[in-house]
Amino acid sequence: MTSMTLPAFTPGRPAAEVDAALRQALDVSDRARECAVLWFAEVRRRELYRDLGYASLHLYATGALGFTENRAWQFKRLADDLERLPVLKEAVTTGQLGWTKAQQVARVATPATQHDWVAKAATTGRRELEQAVRQARQAARAGHLRRRKSGAAVGVQLSMMPAPETALEDPAHQPPVTITLRADGLQLARLEALLEQAHKRGLVPAGAGRIEVLLAGLAALVDGGNAHAHAHAAAHPPRAQVIIQQCPDCGAAAAVTRRGEQPLAPAQVAAACCDAQVRRAGQANRATIAPRVRAAVLARDRYRCTAPGCGEARFLEVHHVVPRAQGGSNRQDNLVTLCGRCHRFVHEHAGGEGGVRRRGNPGRRSACPTGGTSP
């Protein structure tokens, strides 16, 4: 990508020079945005935000980069488009396409049609390309309506795909489970519109993927749609429990599902051990944190995740700042509220800098003791 110089502002110049300087500045602005999105996509693809101390791309964008919710959403969508369309990404990276045309192509291109759209964008003017994109979108909508009338369905796929680096580093990693839904054209359009609005309005966990949006929606249904239901649910035993079977000898653990037992990563097991009901054969069930202490910690933290920049109000868990294995207690001053994602992130980065601090605690992070079966 070639570099460009921003023209210095000088008042009182002739009209032609002002026009040329303005056009140059706009071109530089477009190139700068294009460059920023490419770097942002690199952070997303390699999950570099985790190395920088953030549990999600969204938290990195809003916390480290100072993005607004809407800007973070826009950048993520643009980065997703470039990863979804590698031919378009190559055209942008090499300078074959400018950023304005690339954005138009991303609105209609699919992995199967991206070559044709990139070629068309490279050989047509901006207005002609916009018209072609508009016509293609109208045709696509008409096709959805025809399929709707005929009763035909289209597939909507939600998948949980970790980065390749995670698969190599995590010995407990298994091939992801793919959940496929069937929807007609109108239902697909509603799904896309609702997902977009939910993200823009901040109604879903920050930086959540589609599977997390689905889980949050189901949790809201279970809670009865009450605006304060998430706080009540967080302070009381959950209405839906997850069962984790753990070997008392080797410590390996798996979540029990209808598709069989799904192995868990060590960080997931460690996070579960912080805040769970432990069941051992022949013994009474035991909470790792006393219910009254857990409720007090959640109330103190206002039923919000305390990780910097997060503030999530669903899927809350209580974490030991100083692990039990290192002498940490179950007192309130050693406990903090985290959402499930931030809790796992803290355990994955045990011993790193920063951490979650509470009332002067040193912020050390590690796995708490394991054992038994915990829901």
pLDDT tens string for the chain (375 positions)? Answer: 556 678 888 899 999 999 999 988 888 887 888 888 889 989 998 989 988 988 888 889 988 999 988 888 888 888 888 888 999 989 988 888 887 888 889 888 989 999 999 999 999 998 999 999 989 888 877 776 665 555 554 444 443 333 333 333 444 445 566 777 777 666 766 777 777 777 667 666 655 667 777 777 777 777 665 545 555 555 555 556 778 888 878 888 888 887 778 888 888 888 888 888 888 777 777 888 888 999 999 999 999 999 888 888 878 889 999 888 888 899 999 999 998 888 988 988 874 433 454 433 333 333 333 333 333
The CA–CA distances, whole Å, from 29 to 5, 8, 42, 96, 151 equal 10, 14, 20, 17, 47
Given a contact cutoff of 8 angstroms between Cβ atoms, the answer to whether 306 and 336 are in contact is: yes
Residue 334 is given by DSSP the state: G
**Predicted model pTM:** 0.60
Whole-angstrom distance, CA of residue 88 vs CA of residue 185: 26
> Which SS3 state, helix, strand or coil, does residue 115 take?
helix
Q: What does the pLDDT read at residue 167? A: 37
Contact 282, 363 (CB under 8 A): no
Tell me how long the chain is.
Answer: 375
